[in-house]
Structure 1
Amino acid sequence: MSSITKRVVIQFILVVFVILLLIGLFFLGIFIGYVYVGKGQSSDAFNPATWHHILDFVK
């Protein structure tokens, strides 16, 4: 592999890693916000019915 190809592969891996890290932190933030800050049950944190109710309340 040439050095340019290696750099492109490394940059691609870094971008994918950062995107996955951001997605993971987003869901962690949802969990922490719902369970610890909002005092909800952990089993309801990712329940679609819960989020439909929250979105209906915001509308």
Structure 2
Amino acid sequence: MSEETQQPSSRIERRKQGKRSFPPSGRIMAQTKPPQEESEEPRTDRAPDEEERGTKPRRFARTRLIPIWLRLIIIAVLMAASLAIGAVVGYSAIGDGRWLDVFRPSTWQHILDFVEKGT
């Protein structure tokens, strides 16, 4: 195979080479500018201080503010809190019990006996 027909295996490698990638359906999802050839003309999109220093414009790396493992813990805690609040509201506001009684094991045993035996 020649190098023109051989495409890089990953999207990142294609992006580094500047080749446009198309979705499997063949349609273009977003219009992008083709890569421009390097020219002798000075670039005007850089700030003057960057041109004087001879550095490239700074590219920021995207970092997560909250790590994924912490997000999962937060979701689990919020789900447990919503379950407890729902049980309190259901037992005390809708039912006739006191709100602290919902956390007693005897209450849940009574509910399970009621559901299983139907009495």
TM-score scaled by structure 2? 0.41
Structure 2 distance, partners of 1:33, 1:50, is 13
Tell me if 1:26 matches 2:64: no
Summarize the alignment of residues 1-59 of structure 1 with structure 2, pairs less than 5 Å apart: 7=64, 10-59=67-116
Q: CA RMSD in A?
A: 1.7
Which amino acid is 1:47 matched to?
A: R
Task: Give 1 or 2 for the bigger CA radius of gyration.
Answer: 2
3-state SS of paired residue (1:45):
helix
Q: What whole-Å deviation, never above 9, does each CA across 1:20-55 have from its counterpart, x for those lacking one?
A: 100111011111100001121123121111110110
For the residue of structure 2 that corresponds to 1:39, the secondary structure is coil
Looking at structure 2, the residues matched to 41 and 56 of structure 1 have their Cα atoms a distance apart, in angstroms, of 20
Higher helix share: 1
Q: Return the TM-score normalized by structure 1.
A: 0.78
Q: How many residues align?
A: 54
AA matched with 1:21: L
Instruction: Compute the displacement of 1:17 (Å).
Output: 0.3
Unaligned runs of 5+ in 1: none
